[in-house]
């Protein structure tokens, strides 16, 4: 931890664009200092936030999709354990083995178009990428009995190890640009942590899976953030060694306020709070940069009154949309990123 992103802005991931060029025009124009590669689920369903990272398991035949596109493990627990035993005998992996976890071009048009566009653009300060978290993936992929794979410790480990190798490959891929890299782990499933009706996995199960991805990404030299677009157990999340915590503060500020002490401890050790301030919903039409800046000031004051040290709170943050923009119209996504840039500009020029 320790990098200063004060007032800078970046995006979460998904865009409604059919082609990458339209998304990249907005990204490089509106968040040029921390551009990110776009996911394009409306171009192809294989670019959706879970499916995009399932390719290695689909290729191995461990996972298939049913007629409705729902992914499921094709093996039972015993066969999964055998796969893990064979898998672990190959560690540490050689470079060509890690390259086997590269994103296929047909499932990552936005990724490769972004990398190509960087060759001809002004040099940014940072690059930002993303990957789906193991909990969210494990709640979306099922076992042979129709239960979420995350409930099964063997399948949970297979998913986590697969994602970790894609993390390692992604970070290494962008090293050619010689720029600091930020990786966000997108975990909307975190809202279930601690819920009484979801006792088939524990907080420790989630923490162990996230720590594995964290350790790999940090070992590769990346700053690591976590994005969640709902309320969650903030005590749990701030205790993990993330460099950045990104939340939908527009819709879920009230869930954060009771955890001001935990937020202050996170900031005290050098963490960055990524404010998901710009709503990626129809509500974006109701706002201006001025109204969002006023909302942010109000939230900052409430957190300070609740015990967060003011200087850290007003220095250790960056801005994002509240969530991915893949469900918006083309007009709405342009407004989201314009407002994002305008609020960021107010910060950088000292107006906010």
pLDDT in tens, the chain (352 residues): 446 788 899 999 999 999 999 999 999 999 999 999 999 999 999 999 999 999 999 999 999 999 999 999 999 999 999 999 999 888 888 899 999 999 999 999 999 999 999 999 999 999 999 999 999 999 999 999 999 999 999 999 999 999 999 999 999 999 999 999 999 999 999 998 877 776 788 999 999 999 999 999 999 999 999 999 888 989 999 999 999 999 999 999 999 999 999 999 999 999 999 999 999 999 999 999 999 999 999 999 999 999 999 999 999 999 999 999 999 999 999 999 999 999 999 888 777 6
pTM over 0.85: yes
- The pLDDT value recorded for residue 349 is 77
Q: 3-class SS at 181? A: strand
- The pLDDT value recorded for residue 91 is 80
Q: Is the dihedral of CA 267, 192, 43, 108 positive or negative?
A: positive
CA distance 237 to 245: 8
Under DSSP, the state recorded for 14 is: B
Q: Which residues have C-beta within 8 Å of that of residue 346, sequence separation ≥ 6?
A: 289, 293, 352
CA distance 27 to 33: 10
Measured at the CA of 31, the angle between CA 30 and CA 33, to 5 degrees, comes to: 135
- The pLDDT value recorded for residue 351 is 75
HSE toward the beta carbon, residue 292, CA cutoff 13 A: 32
- The pLDDT value recorded for residue 198 is 67
Measured at the CA of 272, the angle between CA 269 and CA 276, to 5 degrees, comes to: 150
CA distance 157 to 209: 8
- Could you tell me the CA-to-CA distances from 324 to 75, 241, 274, 287 in Å, in that order? 33, 24, 14, 18
Q: Which two tokens stand for residue 96?
A: 């060509």
CATH number for the segment(s) 20-348: 3.20.20
- The pLDDT value recorded for residue 2 is 47
């Amino acid at each position: 931890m320790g990098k200063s992103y004060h007032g800078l802005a970046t995006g979460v991931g998904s865009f409604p664009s059919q082609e990458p060029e339209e998304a990249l025009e907005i990204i490089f124009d509106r968040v040029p200092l921390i551009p990110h590669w776009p996911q394009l689920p409306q171009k192809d369903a294989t670019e959706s936030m879970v499916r995009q990272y399932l390719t290695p398991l689909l290729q191995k035949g461990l996972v298939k999709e049913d007629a409705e596109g729902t992914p499921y493990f094709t093996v039972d627990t015993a066969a999964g354990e055998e796969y893990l035993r064979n898998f672990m005998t190959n560690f540490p992996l050689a470079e060509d083995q890690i390259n086997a976890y590269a994103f296929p071009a047909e499932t990552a048009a936005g990724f490769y178009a972004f990398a190509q566009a960087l060759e001809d653009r002004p040099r940014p300060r940072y690059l930002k990428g993303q990957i789906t978290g193991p909990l969210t993936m494990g709640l979306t992929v099922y076992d042979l009995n129709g239960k979420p794979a995350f409930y099964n410790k063997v399948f949970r480990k297979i998913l986590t190890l697969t994602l970790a190798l894609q993390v390692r490959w992604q970070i290494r891929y962008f090293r050619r640009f010689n720029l600091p890299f930020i990786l966000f782990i997108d975990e909307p499933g975190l809202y279930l942590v601690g819920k009484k009706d979801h006792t088939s996995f524990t907080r420790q199960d989630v923490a162990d899976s996230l720590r594995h991805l964290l350790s790999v990404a940090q070992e590769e030299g990346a700053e690591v953030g976590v994005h969640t677009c709902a309320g969650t157990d903030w005590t749990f999340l701030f205790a993990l060694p993330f460099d950045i915590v990104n939340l939908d503060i527009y819709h879920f500020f009230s869930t954060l306020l009771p955890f001001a002490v935990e937020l202050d401890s996170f900031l005290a050790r050098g963490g960055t709070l990524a404010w998901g301030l710009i709503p990626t919903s129809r509500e974006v039409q109701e706002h201006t940069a001025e109204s969002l800046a006023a909302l942010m000031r109000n939230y900052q004051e409430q957190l300070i009154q609740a015990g967060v040290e003011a200087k850290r709170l007003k220095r250790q943050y960056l801005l994002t949309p509240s969530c991915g923009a893949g469900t918006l119209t083309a007009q709405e996504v342009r407004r989201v990123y314009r407002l994002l840039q305008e609020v960021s500009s107010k910060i950088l020029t000292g107006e906010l």
